[in-house]
Homo-oligomer: A and B are copies of this chain.
Amino acid sequence: MAAHYTESAAKVVEPPSKIKRKAPGSGQVKRSVRRLESKAKVDGSAEYIYNLSLPGMLYGKIARSSIPHGKILSIDATAALAIEGVHAVITGEDIRRLIPDPYYGPAFHDQPILALDKVRYAGEPVAVVLAADPHVAEEAADLIAVEYDPLEPVFDEVAASKAGAPIIHDRLRPAATFPDLKYLQGRSGTNVALSGRVRRGDLEKGFRESDHIFEHTFRNGKVIHAPLEPFVTLAEMNGPDGLTIHTASQSPSFVRSEVSRLLGWPENRVRVRTAFLGGGFGGKLYIKLEALVAACALLVRKPVRIALTMEEQFYTITKHGATVRLKTGAKKDGRIVAREVETWWNGGAYADIGPRVAQKSGLTSAGPYDIENIAIDSHAIYTNEPPAGALRGFGVSQVVWAYESQADIIARALKIDPLEFRRRNILREGRPHATGMLMTDVDIDAILDRLAERMEWDRPLDHGSGTIRRGRGIAIGIKACVAPTTSVAMVNIYGDGSCGICCSTVDMGQGSDTAMAQIAGELLGVSAEAIRVIHPDTDVTPYDMATLGSRSTYHMGNAVRHAAEDARAQLLRIAATALQTDIDELECRDGAVLTRSGARMSRQITPFWMLGGAGAEIEVDTETGRIRVTKLVNVGDAGSAINPDIVERQLIGAGTMQFGFTIFEEMIINEGQVVNASFADYKIPGMLDLPDDLTGELVEVPHRHGPFGAKGIGETGMFCVSPAIGNALYDAIEVRVMEMPLTPERVLRALRQAQDRPLTSD
């Protein structure tokens, strides 16, 4: 839905020169406009919530659970309160006096604002100390003494799904906003929050008709989002019965509705503002600190700020660890005829959006392949680890790791070139996907072609000899976009002809401000640089579901397009009046267009398909097991790119992120305790780690309904990097590592297991 207004006919009318504009098609889209905020980010004037200070505010420091599972017997804040300068200590019981049912979450209302009665993971917030001096708050938080009665914990997602496992939540509490989850309401005695299921054809028949059956289990560890701007929220009273929340959030509209629901207030009494985000990657979605900070501010009736350290991020939200069992039946010629996929998602102690991750990524977990017989089961599992949620790709990279590793296994087993194996199996335009939805606006062949070209696939690779071996691998992947979903935009033309866009898309570095300005500018004949994009403020910028899942360019882009088209039509009408031309000719009304973006697609699983491929060349040191990626090619279909440079950098950025996840990033959780919660111990890629040859490659298959043919691209680069590297590893040293990340230890261990086999250069 797109609405907009223009204003003051009188003001536009008087200088007719101002209303002469270039016709649409003014070269704003499909052009690498420099990011609008470049200068502000360089000179330090770009607004980040982290830098915000409110007069008289208190700093909050969270005291956290030391055990992974247990009943809270007592919380003793005496020593903390004795520290001079401590304003208050807030516990879950204090919160409960303000909010009788203080459980939140986008999919399930399962997460208490502060722990109540029991704790479910080590690092869970138990109390908050408030002080005018942040150092005082930190010192006092260490002195809060909590007595627990430990309960047996469970950490492994498969173990937690079995009967007899310790139960983490007494009852399931799906959110009322998701009516499809209502059947789970009140279910007890299980850690399975949700099981998604897809069936197509006749699986047993498919396996019977197969010449070869392959069955493997693949695993991913937990990793974190690691945005450079920490999690931060400030809250303050807004009049006697209002609340303003300033937060580094990807989903201001959700924060408003969820905090309103918790407080029992109408939404119009809660205002949520965001600014630029120093990265989000799905970590800053839904409620993180917002409910806690809001409750503290209301309890003490003063502004409150809580910002997390990098360590605390590990206790806040992670990417899902996952176990994927994959059974595939293939004909001799490589044609896949049956596939069974079962995935267990380690959701940690609270659901966050995990059940949706399980459900949605489950839909495409059979891969971008044309398979007649499919069975998919995808389980969201509670464990006593920190909560897992959305992370760039929304569960897709975990399943691509599995099916693209297996694709390589099958191809090699059947002695088919891995590229050719994929060509024989891919879904093509018009063919039904596992879910029955037809493939449209896609061209996977183009992605394979580009991969082959950029990887010089026809050129034999020198695999080396001695202790340094080389290999290469490729992978492709598919993701569906969230639907149905709503984005609303306003395009304002001010009295002097300058232009502003109001939308609640959060620019967290992905360049959305620039893309929206380009789309509006294209239609209004104004350069993108001259357009101002106003940042989310739920009081005034219209509703947007959230900035997630590569949806903004498509959904918000379309909303901006419709609003700009309508603004343009109105402008022409005003011009016709001013210039005394025939108004009837223009067929304009005193009206504005509203478009419910995506509404028409409600019976489809996705408004557009996200397709990508990756290729990698690596060197492996057989003495240490260390992998060095020498070339990484990430190919993605952005439809017609609004801004090609930004799109290519998105692919490179996502590739770099997933490269880290593949090679070394892993949260190490020992008996529920995160043991490497620092960037000294949890390694993210540095400049020297990056492949020398690292590229993002654009494939443009225009989408008929996308704004100027565009599709979302933010996640596509995440899908295929891991299996491409895994496949390159096999190519180099003929060992297969089924579990990510591909650390030297794992590589070496796999190599030793295969030591009886001689190393050949294939």
Contact = CB atoms under 8 A, between A and B. Distances in A.
Interface of A: 1, 3-11, 14-15, 37, 39-40, 43, 45-47, 53, 55, 176-177, 179, 237-242, 253, 256-257, 260-261, 266-269, 484, 486, 488, 490, 492, 494-500, 502, 530-532, 534, 537, 539-543, 545, 570, 589-596, 599
Contact of A268 (B266, B500, B596): B500
Given A240-B39, A594-B592, A267 B8 contact: no
A45 B486 contact: no
A539 B179 contact: no
B591 A593 contact: yes
Contacts of A14: 176-177, 179
Contacts of A55: 53
5 contacts: A5-B488, A5-B542, A39-B241, A40-B240, A266-B494
A268 B486 contact: no
A481 B55 CA distance: 42
Q: Which of A3, A55, A496, A599 has the most CB of B within 10 A?
A: A3
Contact of A10 (B484, B492, B595): B484
Nearest to A7: B543
Nearest to A254: B495
Contacts of A486: 7-11
Q: Which of A494, A497, A542 has the most CB of B within 10 A?
A: A494
A497 B599 CA distance: 20
A579 to B, nearest CB: 16
B591 A494 contact: no
Contacts of A532: 242, 268-269, 539
A8 B484 CA distance: 10
Contact of A1 (B7, B179, B261): B7
A596 B9 contact: yes
Contact of A537 (B238, B540, B592): B540
Contacts of A534: 539-540
A498 B539 CA distance: 12
A182 to B, nearest CB: 10
Q: Which of A45, A530, A570 has the most CB of B within 10 A?
A: A45
User: How many protomers of this protein does the assembly include?
Assistant: 2
Given A590-B594, A591-B593, A498 B4 contact: no
Given A45-B237, A484-B10, A540-B540, A5 B268 contact: no
Q: Which of A37, A45, A594 has the most CB of B within 10 A?
A: A594
A617 B355 CA distance: 78
A496 B9 contact: no
A589 B593 CA distance: 9
Contacts of A238: 45
Nearest to A301: B45
B540 A502 contact: yes
Contact of A541 (B6, B531, B540): B540
Q: Which of A1, A46, A260 has the most CB of B within 10 A?
A: A1
Contacts of A46: 239
Contacts of A530: 266, 268
B237 A7 contact: no
Nearest to A14: B179
B5 A239 contact: no
Given A5-B3, A591-B594, A268 B542 contact: no
Nearest to A266: B498
Nearest to A46: B239
A177 B14 CA distance: 7
Contacts of A540: 502, 534, 537, 539-541
B498 A11 contact: no
A238 B37 CA distance: 12
Contact of A260 (B45, B268, B496): B496
Nearest to A501: B268
Contacts of A177: 11, 14
A651 to B, nearest CB: 28
Considering the complex of A and B, which 5 residue pairs feature the smallest CB-CB distances, nearest first? A3-B5, A266-B498, A540-B540, A7-B543, A268-B532
Contact of A543 (B4, B8, B40, B257): B8
Contacts of A260: 496
A394 to B, nearest CB: 19
A631 B659 CA distance: 85
Given A11-B177, A592-B591, A594-B592, A498 B267 contact: yes
Nearest to A495: B257
A590 B595 CA distance: 7
A592 B570 CA distance: 13
A36 to B, nearest CB: 10
Nearest to A489: B5
A177 B237 CA distance: 41
A484 to B, nearest CB: 6
Nearest to A237: B45
Contacts of A40: 239-240
Contacts of A531: 268
A15 to B, nearest CB: 8
A542 B7 contact: yes
A490 B1 CA distance: 15
Contacts of A7: 1, 486, 488, 542-543
A307 B529 CA distance: 35
Contacts of A488: 5, 7
Nearest to A490: B5
A495 B545 CA distance: 11
